[in-house]
Structures are given as structure tokens and as C-alpha cells.
Amino acid sequence: TNFWTMNILKIIGIAIVAVTLILTVKAYRPEAALQISLATGVILLLIAAGTISGLIEKITAEAQKYGIDPGYFSVLIKTIGIAYIAQLGSQICSDAGESAIASKVDLCGRLVILVTVMPTVIEIIEMVCTLLEVNIS
């Protein structure tokens, strides 16, 4: 629990420093404020990724213990990662005043998620059909 608490405090501290810096710089150099925002977003994303890596390993170990294909959890983690990265990109575009590009980033993120999960969905459908003895041909 202490590990999670320290990480969230680190994230909040970085965010507060970045927001203060952005508000100070924005009036004089708006392009620098956007760069600070982008860099902060990447740093926070890396901290979050490092935080959940241990959790992913634990979930994978539990899945293997019960005979569940860890590939399913891999797809789940990839999907969540894609969603967060797309949201970060979209928010950066929105912060820069480019809402049209932000909506395209959202759409592309959803499409990438769809492409990522489709093989797993097909595999699950095939398993269900096998269990129900349904011929897919």
C-alpha cells in the first residue's frame, strides 16, 4: 500500500509543479507551455506504466495457475494501454485548441482497440461454438 501511496503522491507533485510552470510560461511562450504539458503527460504515463507492471505480472501468474491463457490478459492490458494513450493524445490536442484533431485521435484509438481485440473475440466465438457443437462453416 505504501508503494501505491508514494507513487500517487509523486504523480500529484509532478502535476502540480507542471501546472504551475505552465501557467507561468503560458502568457509569454504558449508553445513552451504546450511542450511542458506534453512532456509532463509522457512522464506521468511512464510512472503509471511502471506502477502497474507488477500488477500485470501477478495477474499473469494467477491466470497460469488456473490454466487460463495469459494471452487474454495481454489483450486486455494492451487495450487499456491504447485507450489511455489515445486519451492522452486527444487531451493534448484539445489543450492546443485542436478539437477536430482530438476527435480523430479518439476515433483512431477506438479503431486500434477494435483491431487489437478482434482476434480474441473470434477465438472466444469459436470456443463457444465448439462447446455448443455448432458448425461455423
| Amino acid in the structure at residue 122 | I
Tell me what pLDDT residue 135 has.
65
The verdict on pTM exceeding 0.75 is no
Residue 56's pLDDT band (boundaries 50, 70, 90)? confident
Give first-to-last CA distance, the chain, whole Å: 51
Dihedral sign, Cα of residue 124, residue 55, residue 60, residue 86: positive
Pick the residue with more confidence: 93 or 110? 110
b/e per residue 35-49 (b: at least 16 CB within 10 A): ebbeebbeebeeeee
